[in-house]
Chains A and B, each alone.
Chain A
Amino acid sequence: MGLSRRINSFFDDRFDTETARRFIDKQAHKRLPPHISWFHVFGSLALLLFVSQTITGILLLIYYRPTPEAAYSSIQYITTEVHFGWLYRQIHAWGATLMILVVVLHMVRTYFSGAYKKPRELTWVTGVLIFILTIIFGFTGYLLPWNQIAFWATTIGTESAGKVPFIGEWLLYFLRGGEVVTGETLSRFFVVHVIILPWILTGLIAVHLVLMRLSNLATLEPVGEEKPIPPGHGIPFFPVHVAKEAVVAILLLAGLVTLSILSPWEIGEPANPLVTPAHIKPEWYFLPSYQLLKYFEGPYGAVVGIVACSLPFGLLLFWPFLDRGKERHPRKRPWAVGIGLFGLMAALFLGILGHFSGTDVTLLGRRYHIDLLGRPERLMDEPTSHNPVEH
């Protein structure tokens, strides 16, 4: 009792604590629009996952060694020897996947509720940048264990970057730190993953949150007709919305630990630059681009493919300046909603094709071989099929 009062008065005597206290109070009890729902928790979940990635990432860094000779065995050491090392590695790996999922869900919510419209265009733009950086986070982190799948996924991924028009070759050489993936690549990816991206993302998230607070959360009223929330109305951020967030946050953490235990990420074989394993596939969030790239053949195929894969990101980035309609309610924006649904379905469809391509599946008791372009082919019931991909 006496102690906390003494600490408080120590600060009161030296600083203008009243202003700070008022600011924090105002932010904590800020009134949110009345229609705030469970769909409005994804943003804070993404933040929670970023914090979790940062903490588990720093823990991994204590034992991880970023060289081709030591990386793989240092991960093995973390998972087998270090106390709870397996848990932190799993939470970091699963956290990465969930973070991308949560960021996507957050974007879907803001897209369909028209929240990106004036005056919140820049909030949306910083959000898309955060999304792109999160994907790069996943890509650079994936290489760090220096296992076969990571080595070859990185080879293919950087090679695709090499097909970017005009600057491709330059970019490829720069990303890999040489002509092929080597320890130079590992060093570069490591620095980007643990130093550069965390700080850029921290800055972007800060800007995103400040912008979000400055223009409050959007209602469903058209642009220019949003009415200020009358005093005493709306939903207090603390405690009402925070309680909702806490519920979902606990479910998320429980899910993370459950996934880590029931479905751990395997390390697989160590990287071998002289053998490409059969059927390597990227992480699920790259599957749509992975599949789309396959449909572009011929001398300029890869170039056209890479442009086709980047176009959706460009569209997303500038979307608030392309869709200038004033309506926010999804029912009054048939075009925007249609385009959004089409994009989601296309990504989902390509992702599913990518996932099953080059494998055999059983559907309703019949066996099919799905070829690399995703076309099913009925397999006869002979024990050894003339499977065109098994060479």
Chain B
Amino acid sequence: MKPQVDGFDKVGSARPTRRGFLDWLISLCSLLAGLAMTIPGLMYLWPAARGGGSDNMEVEGADRMAPGQSRMVQVGGKAVIVIRDRKGFRAYSAICTHLGCLVTWEQAKEQFFCPCHAAVFDAQGRVVSGPAPAPLPAYKIKEVGGRIYVSPA
């Protein structure tokens, strides 16, 4: 018998043997079978549904809000803060762009404040001070028959 190395016989080096070829085929099939089992498993772990809740939310009791007041609503599962001023309604994401706490509207100072690490945003959602890296994204307001609706911009 000729000594074999990696399925090739030593003398005629490039000639594959039957056994070497079968070894290689079995490894390939095992690898493919492994992948075929792993990939669906990984996909299973990836979240299927987005957020949850409607993407177009009515602001309940908007007509009762006085100018300067704010209200929290959930749009597509995310917290949104709606402000009424003299001209009408505005809405911003309430999720602080620093690390995700919810900002509150400070009526007296006309600014948003985050209780977690003291980020401050002005009435247009722009960063005033603190660690927040980006402004609060605005949401769209629609008025239909006296009702106020909020949806992603």
Nearest chain A residue, comparing its CB with the CB of B131: A297
Tell me the smallest distance from the CB of B79 to a CB of chain A, in Å: 6
Stretch at the interface among B4-12, B17-25, B115-123: B115-123
One of A39-47, A254-262, A298-306, A320-328 at the interface: A298-306
* Contact of A159 with B100 in the complex, beta carbons under 8 Å: yes
User: How would you classify the secondary structure of chain B's contact residues: helix, strand, loop or mixed?
Assistant: loop
Q: Which of B72, B100, B104, B114 has the most chain A CB within a 10 Å cutoff? A: B100
Check A231 for interface membership: any CB of B closer than 8 A. no
Count, A-B residue pairs, CB within 8 A: 82
Q: Is the CB of B99 within 8 A of A274?
A: no
Among B50, B100, B118, B131, the residue within 8 A (CB) of A156 is B100
Binds B, one of A19-27, A72-80, A173-181, A345-353: A173-181
In the complex, which residue of chain B has the Cβ closest to the Cβ of A163? B99
Report yes or no: B115 in contact with A299, Cβ–Cβ below 8 A. Answer: no
Question: Are A274 and B72 touching (Cβ within 8 A)?
Answer: yes
Partner of A301 from B95, B114, B115, B131 at Cβ < 8 Å: B131
Complex interface: stretch among A96-104, A122-130, A218-226, A276-284? A276-284
Known: A280-B116, A389-B118. A180 touches B99 (CB 8 A): no
- Tell me, in angstroms, the Cα distance from A389 to B49 when the chains sit together: 38
Judge whether A301 and B78 touch: CB under 8 Å: no
**B115 and A278 within 8 A (CB):** yes
A135 within 8 A of B: no
Residues of A within 8 A of B115 (CB): 276-280, 391
* Contact, CB under 8 Å: B102 / A274: yes
Complex Cα distance, B46 from A99, in Å, reads 32
Chain A: residues with Cβ within 8 Å of the partner, total of: 35
C-alpha spacing A178/B118, complex, angstroms: 26
Instruction: Check A274–B47 contact: CB distance below 8 A.
Output: no
B77 adjacent to chain A (CB < 8 Å): yes
Known: A276-B115, A276-B116. A174 touches B78 (CB 8 A): no
Min CB distance, A57 to chain B, in Å? 23
Q: Assuming A173-B47, A372-B117, A391-B113, is B102 touching A275 (CB within 8 A)?
A: yes
Whether B101 pairs with A179 at a CB distance below 8 angstroms is no
Between A and B, 11 residue pairs with Cβ closer than 8 Å are: A152-B101, A156-B100, A179-B77, A182-B52, A182-B77, A274-B72, A274-B79, A276-B102, A278-B115, A298-B133, A391-B113
* Extra 19 A-B pairs, beta carbons < 8 Å, given A180-B78, A391-B113: A155-B100, A156-B100, A156-B101, A159-B100, A160-B99, A178-B47, A178-B49, A180-B79, A182-B77, A274-B72, A275-B72, A276-B101, A276-B104, A276-B115, A280-B101, A280-B115, A297-B131, A299-B134, A301-B133
